[in-house]
Amino acid sequence: MSLQERLTEDVKTAMKAREAGKSRLSVLRMVKASIRNIEIDRKKELNDEDVLDVLAKEVKMRRDSMEDFRKGNRPDLVAALEEEIAILAEYLPAQLSEEEVRALVDQAVSQAQATTAKDMGKVMAILMPQVKGKADGKLVNTLVRERLNQ
C-alpha cells in the first residue's frame, strides 16, 4: 500500500470516528490537499519519496510555528501543534538519534576530507541524502558546524 493510499484510508477511518477523529481528520485532509496541489503544479502523481518530503515540510512548518507560539506565550496553540506533529510523525520514517547523526557526520567529514568550515558544502552534499526525512536539517547543520569548528 502506497503512502497516499494509506492517507486516504486513514481519512476514511477518521471520518467514521466522528468527534474523536476531528483533529486527525483536519490534519490528514490538509496533508492530502498539499500533496494534491504539488501534483497539480508538477503535472504528475507523487511517489512515496515525494510524499515523505511533503510530510517532512509540514512537520517543519509546525515546529517553526511552535517556537513563535512559545515566545508569544500561547500554550494552547503549542499543544495543538504538538498534536498535529504527532499525527504527521506516524507517516514519517523513524527519526535518527543525535548519536546516530553524529556518527554519520563524522563519516561524511572523513569521506569529504573536510578540515574547515569552508568545506561544509561538501560535507552536507554527502550527508543530506543519507538523512533525508530521517533527521531534522537544523540538527544536522548544527552538528556539522560543530564538528568542522573543532
Note whether 83 and 47 are same-domain residues. Answer: yes
Share above pLDDT 90 across residues of the chain, in percent, rounded to a whole number = 39
**What is the rounded radius of gyration, in angstroms, for the C-alpha atoms of the chain?**
18
Count other C-beta atoms under 10 Å from residue 78's C-beta: 17
- The reported pLDDT for the residue numbered 79 is 93
- The reported pLDDT for the residue numbered 82 is 94
- Range of the structural domain that residue 29 is part of: 3-89
CATH number at residue 71: 1.10.1510.10
Note whether 85 and 103 are same-domain residues. Answer: no
- The reported pLDDT for the residue numbered 129 is 87
Question: Each residue of 23-78: pLDDT tens digit?
Answer: 899 999 999 999 999 999 999 998 988 998 899 899 989 999 999 999 999 999 99
Domain count, the chain: 2
Question: Each residue of 81-101: pLDDT tens digit?
Answer: 999 999 999 998 888 888 898
Note whether 78 and 108 are same-domain residues. Answer: no
Q: How many residues does the chain have?
A: 150
Q: How far apart are CA 17 and CA 1, in angstroms?
A: 22
DSSP 92: S
The pTM (predicted TM-score) of the whole model is 0.77
Note whether 69 and 102 are same-domain residues. Answer: no
- The reported pLDDT for the residue numbered 7 is 92
Note whether 69 and 7 are same-domain residues. Answer: yes
Domain-ending residue, one of 46, 62, 89: 89
Residue 21: band (very low, low, confident or very high) from pLDDT cuts 50, 70, 90: low
CATH number at residue 132: 1.10.10.410
Q: Is 15 exposed, middle or buried (0-12, 13-18, 19+ CB in 10 A)?
A: middle
